[in-house]
Structure 1
Amino acid sequence: MLMKSGRERFGTFIRSEREAKEIGLREMAKKIGVSPTYLSKVERDEFPPPAEDKVRKIASVLGLDADELLALAGRVASDLTDIIRQRPREMADFLRAAKGLTAEDMARLQRQAQKAKEK
């Protein structure tokens, strides 16, 4: 899991991760395709987290899980929103039912779904 402290802010978190990996601000900005000024403001939480494609690039550069970083940014991956839009009622029911499951329970469900898919 990404979040080390309860509600760490997106910008604070990515600045900390970038500095821990000794990646300069300008280098990071270039790798993700934004200006250093913009990235600096995001890291200081003066700007909201960037769009999904930039968050994914940040995750890649920092070696983080893109879905977890998107969640920290307050976003959901576009492929997941597409799935929800296809079956909104069923997915809402499923997610609410899954809320209390442990990570182990979720892994078991995933394995069972994969087996059913292969049949």
Structure 2
Amino acid sequence: MESIEYGVGRYLDQPYETALPHVVEALKTEGFGVVTEIDVRETMREKLGVDVTPHTILGACNPELAHAALQVEPDLGVLLPCNVVVYATPRGTRVTAVNAGAMLGMVGNPALERIAAEVGRRLDRVLESL
């Protein structure tokens, strides 16, 4: 897996059309439901008339962890759900999940550290399972 400041991801040796449902299933296995699904390619085509490679933003939510985090920090909803992107590249399908520690770390509330760590572990397992 490859880390970037705001996320962690990997390349899959499978086409985008095959990878996308596998990512959704892996999220479910770790307790995340997909509450939003944005087809970036279709949106860009509709709004700008441009064609881009297949690209989807999945808004993933683990209800128990989201509830716990919102109890600690009610305004945290502006950072939810956890986004996972799936897009086609010449190297294969790229899957990148948000870095929960970085995202929740900017809130500055130490009470969120345990929750962020658990979200991060689960998202890492999602990526490792693909």
Same-fold call, TM cutoff 0.5:
no
Higher percent of residues as helix: 1
**Does 1 or 2 have the higher relative contact order (CA < 8 Å, sep 6+)?**
2
Higher percent of residues as strand: 2
